[in-house]
Amino acid sequence: MEQVVLLDDAGRAVGIEPKATVHTTDTPLHLAFSSYVFDPDGNVLLTRRAMDKITFPGVLTNSCCGHPAPDELLTEAVRRRLRQELGIDVTDIEVVLPSFRYRAVMDNGIVENEICPVFRVVYDGPAPVPDPSEVHDAEWMDWTEFAEDVVEGRREVSLWCREQVLQLRQLGPDPLAWPVASVSALPHAAPDRS
């Protein structure tokens, strides 16, 4: 059974809860991650969430999101979920927004409430093979065009993706040249800090 790490406001671990029951109308703050997969030309891999996901089904978003298991490195969680959701094996994983946090409420009242560090992944391998239980479809898109579409409101994406894009654009126009953040800025609960 998958478990998520519950956090206090300072990002310290305060418990664990099954992933299957954590998302409610009063979801506690917990640890997650978002990743943006880029090819060597700077195109970003976008995914549409599976239609039967509990949270935000069918929504266009970044490459992959997920929750680390207790004591699992965030970078290992990124690697694990990209393999599970998209069938890709990655090694080039770097944190770019270490303290990103958001809260989003669905129309039915279900809440996402996460401290969600953002990772850049560079991938040059076989085409992704999405797991249909996780990903409805996936597509590559020029990063600059995608980011501009999101900012200008021409492309609807998940709330967290929109907020992340606004912050990622501040790192510079070339995603492959974004500065890598210090792991010491990750939440206290992230084992990667040590």
Q: Give yes or no for a contact between 153 and 21, defined as CB atoms under 8 angstroms apart.
A: no
Q: Which of 64, 65, 116, 161 is an active site residue?
A: 65
Cα 148 to Cα 46: distance, rounded to the nearest angstrom: 14
Q: Rounded to 5 degrees, what angle do the CA atoms 110, 116, 119 make?
A: 135
H-run or E-run covering 113:
strand 111-115
Q: Which of 85, 114, 134, 163 is an active site residue?
A: 114
Active site residue 64: no
Active site residue 65: yes
Cα 186 to Cα 178: distance, rounded to the nearest angstrom: 17
Tokens representing 14 are 């305060």
- Active-site annotation, residues: 65, 114
